[in-house]
Amino acid sequence: MKEFLTGNEAIARGAYEAGVTFVSAYPGTPSTEILENIAPYKEHVYAEWAPNEKVALEAAIGASIAGARALAAMKHVGVNVAADPLFTYAYTGVNGGLILVSADDPGMHSSQNEQDNRYYAKFSKVAMIEPSDSQEAKDFVKIALEISEKYDTPVLFRVTTRICHSKTLVELGEREEVGIKPYKKDISKYVATPANGRVLHVKVEERLKQLEKFSNETELNKIEWNDKKIGIVTSGIAYQYAKEVFGDTASYLKLGFTHPLPMKKIEEFANEVEVLYVIEELEPYIEEQMKAAGIKCIGKELIPRIGELNPDIIAKAILKEERQTIQYDEAKIVGRPPTLCAGCPHRGFFYMLAKKKNIMITGDIGCYTLGSAEPLSAMDTCICMGASVSAGHGAQKAFEFNGIDKKVVGVIGDSTFFHSGVTGLMDIVYNKGNAVTVILDNRITGMTGHQENPGTGYTLQGDKTHAINIPLLCEAVGIKKENIYIINPLDLDACKKTIDEALDKTEPVVIITEWPCVLKKPSPEDIEKFGNKRTICKVDEEKCKACRICTKTGCPAISFDEKASINEDMCVGCDVCLQACPFDAIEKVGE
């Protein structure tokens, strides 16, 4: 039976069919749907959201050592977080097969950088596989697990946004129950002391030689002979783009197993073609190694190393062909920059925070990063997950040490606080900092599509569980109870009063804003605590003085044409505009 699946759905199906029994991940676009599609196989696969990517991989490693086939999934920047256990597990090797799915994001559709994680396979000395469509995404999972167990190595399963989110037909198979391999205590293998590590490093280098031999022999790296005037070495989605441009007018060496590279096969292919191109997205990972081996080829001289590739870019770069695209009148296109949703619980707090002078606001990764956008402009930095708290602490210390009178406010979401913000808060307490930390608790992991987290009270597979209490966690870390404020971020007076008090403190302060994401399906606990009544706000045109202050909240439901107006279909009655209006020209209806 065939189904039309995205790459993420196919990876999930592949894990199910390959007998995987343990899966862990932290949500992050473009990888998130892998876990969401594994979760329904509850009878066969245990799946969980981890607080961060390092924990996800460590949990999968534990399952692998125990003898289970295991998978950890994350977006490319998540592998930075998980790099510590990855590098050591590369040394120890596996028991049950282990796959680390790295979902890279060329073009930065939803990421802060577009790093090429193929280098992680080379750097950590693990095997790597790259599928080119959904069928391969499913089939390669099973092959990767077999390679993992045969060669005693974790396998980096590298996909990109276009593989993760595009769909192709996939032939489904049956689940293979492989069971769990016997666990055997082996200190020399699994206890990575320096003495054991030195021995294991020798084994890793020997393994890489075996893997390169496999790479030269496997059908995962296959040659498609056509016209030999042009030869193309490629992998992943770039293979599909190259085929669309050149069709049967070129020969291809399609690489599915890309670490170690099959240098002998590449050299044989190169010797048969007149001109050799390397077509790959982002960095010259393949090209560099070919040129280092003395194989003449053309790559990044023509193919850009910035952004996502497509057939038009390749055709223009190599064939000098300008492909026709749909023409339109750019003057009629209205710019629609990303913004916080109408009714977003973060808006009220950011609206009031932005009014404060002489402060630096260190932000974090999440939908609340949009607080940096105009007209709120309530954020100065955004570096990586968890950095708002720790970078805020560093900035505050630097200001104080150099005699600069400026306060720092770090803002972070609830899921991100669990991910890696709590360690920054420990740093503030331990090192006697006094930066203000704001935890924007919207009761869900918002930006990636409403995944559960340790604070929501529910697991990935829908079971009720203990919800971590954020105020108590902050208190346990060392924040004094009187310095922990819990407020409704839609109450502007409460926001102002709390921010003023917090900025006056000389000790560590935490402000926790509690209100559910406006798009979240409320849980019974949400309804009990926050209610679930539908209201909207309307503008009284007689009272409206056209001052435009309501538009400074940045709410997309508000528009202005001589007088302000509110889109009733978008408004959820959060009241922020009503409170901001100095002329009482906005009223609430539906109560």
Known binding positions for [4Fe-4S] cluster: 544, 547, 550, 555, 571, 574, 577, 581
Residue 558's H or E segment, with its range, is: strand 558-561
Q: Of 493, 487, 485, 488, which is closest to residue 352 (Cα–Cα)?
A: 493
Strands 359-363 and 407-413: parallel
Cα-trace Rg, the chain: 27
CA atoms of 301 and 298, how far apart (whole Å): 7
CB 297 within 8 Å of CB 230: no
Tokens at residue 62, please? 């534990």
Could you count the other beta carbons within 10 Å of the beta carbon of residue 522?
A: 15
CB 37 within 8 Å of CB 16: no
CA within 13 Å, CB half, 444: 21
SS3 at position 21: coil
- HEC assignment per residue over 371-431: HHCCCCCCCCEECCCCHHHHHHHHHHHHHHHCCCCCEEEEEEEHHHHHHHHHHHHHHHHHC
Sequence-distant (≥ 6) Cβ neighbours of residue 88 within 8 angstroms: 192
CA atoms of 169 and 476, how far apart (whole Å): 51
Could you count the other beta carbons within 10 Å of the beta carbon of residue 544?
A: 19
**Residue 569 DSSP code:** T
Tokens at residue 322, please? 């300008």
Sequence-distant (≥ 6) Cβ neighbours of residue 21 within 8 angstroms: 44, 45, 46, 63, 68, 69, 70, 180
Strands 359-363 and 167-171: unpaired
For 471-528, give the DSSP string.
HHHHHHHT--GGGEEEE-TT-HHHHHHHHHHHHH-SS-EEEEEE---TTS---HHHHH
CA within 13 Å, CB half, 303: 26
Annotated binding site: 544, 547, 550, 555, 571, 574, 577, 581
CA atoms of 378 and 424, how far apart (whole Å): 21
Tokens at residue 1, please? 């039976």
Q: How far is CA 399 from the centre of its chain?
A: 32
Tokens at residue 170, please? 């996939």
CB 5 within 8 Å of CB 172: no
